[in-house]
Chains A and B, each alone.
Chain A
Amino acid sequence: MQDIDQNIIEKAVQGDWAAFEDMYRQSSGFIYSTALRMVNHPTDAEEITQEVFIKIYQHLPQFRSESSFKTWAYRITINTVMNHFRKVKRNKEVPLTDAHDHKHHADFVDPFLKEEADRKVGLLLSVLDPGQRMCIVLRSIQGLSYAEIARVLKMNINTVRTKIKRAREKLVKFGKEVVGDEM
């Protein structure tokens, strides 16, 4: 996980707009991709990305440089995604995921994800609850180590390991059923 240069962060804190744009260019990719894999919907992922950067802009002066910017940005992203899930659940009264509901799986996959691997990953992630999905996205897509995930989610590393193990057990169990015979 490559972090953003401290000078850029300090310039952005001082109100240097170019520095803030530089921060956006360097970090928007992982923020958008995390949001997209979590919610599996491009428009929602765009809205989450916007919200995350507005929060970063507003709270940048409070960012403490002893922690990593990316860890902080991931944390804001995860919180924003969880708020999005709560909002969706409240408004639509629809359960977030149900591993046994195949109709729901079919609805969950967006046509935006055309490529085969993306489709498979979208289907696989749909069988997980948000907490497990978060761990799998951070580990298997973003490539964070267990220790980094623990820092982002403010969890014990053993809790992260357990969540990843349970999520993968579920994926192995339902993977073939959900994705089809090609697995």
Chain B
Amino acid sequence: MRCKDAQDMILTGYLDDQVSSKQARAIHEHLAQCGDCKEFFERSQKILVDPFKAIHEVKVPDHVWMKIKEACQSSRRLSWADRVGAQLDIFFNGLLRIWPQFALSTVAVCCVLFLVLFQGSVFNRQQLANHFLQEQWEYFLSFDEETDSQEMVVDWEVFL
């Protein structure tokens, strides 16, 4: 093993106990015969491991929780609509997670139904309009007896 490889490995996996047993053995053997790398390892241990092991655990001051509680509760009071939205979000996320195919096919069926109903309503409206115009036209013609309504050619599409 070259010194550079050994030192690279010391700085990452070896100091963190994240090397294979084979790699660890190779480093042990190298350190046993290389004074420079042994010194490098001891210095690394002293700077990179020992101080971090010796630090004490920090405690969160009590007032932090009080401030968080206050901020969260005031936001909760204000935004019930957001919470309803969040619940819907959970529902739809859950549906997508559990059964994405079902969710997608439901959306597709909804789209098709919407199109069919929409087209139908347009068609119905067109028929009603035709009927209304026909009635109106016949009503106007009834005032003029000299007019031969049979000769009138009406392009209904113009009105629609």
Contacts and interface: CB of A to CB of B under 8 A. Distances in A.
Interface of A: 13, 15, 17, 20-21, 24, 28-29, 32-33, 36, 42, 46, 49-50, 53-54, 57-58, 61-62, 64, 66, 115-118, 120-121, 124, 139-141, 145-146, 161, 164-165, 168-169, 171-172, 175-176, 179, 183
B68 A53 contact: yes
B60 A171 contact: no
A28 B60 contact: yes
A140 B49 contact: yes
Given A61-B90, A183-B47, A50 B68 contact: yes
B87 interface: yes
A32 B11 contact: no
A15 B8 contact: no
Nearest to A10: B90
B79 to A, nearest CB: 9
Given A54-B72, A168-B44, 7 more contacts: A46-B60, A50-B68, A58-B75, A61-B87, A61-B89, A171-B48, A172-B44
Nearest to B49: A140
Contact of B64 (A46, A62, A183): A46
Contact of B86 (A20, A61, A118, A164): A61
Contacts of A17: 73
A109 B8 CA distance: 30
B58 A124 contact: no
Interface in B97-149: 97
Contact of B43 (A49, A161, A172, A179): A172
Interface of B: 8, 11-13, 15-16, 18, 40, 43-44, 46-49, 51-52, 54-61, 63-65, 67-69, 71-73, 75-76, 83, 86-87, 89-90, 93, 97
Contacts, number: 107
B38 to A, nearest CB: 14
A13 B48 CA distance: 40
B90 A13 contact: yes
A15 B83 CA distance: 9
Contacts of A54: 68, 71-72, 75
Among B16, B48, B58, B93, max chain A CB count under 10 A is at: B58
A71 B12 CA distance: 22
A20 B72 contact: yes
A33 B58 contact: yes
B112 to A, nearest CB: 30
B61 A46 contact: yes
A118 B44 CA distance: 18
Nearest to B47: A175
A29 B12 contact: no
Contacts of B51: 117, 120-121, 124
Contacts of B16: 139, 146
Contacts of B75: 54, 57-58
A111 to B, nearest CB: 15
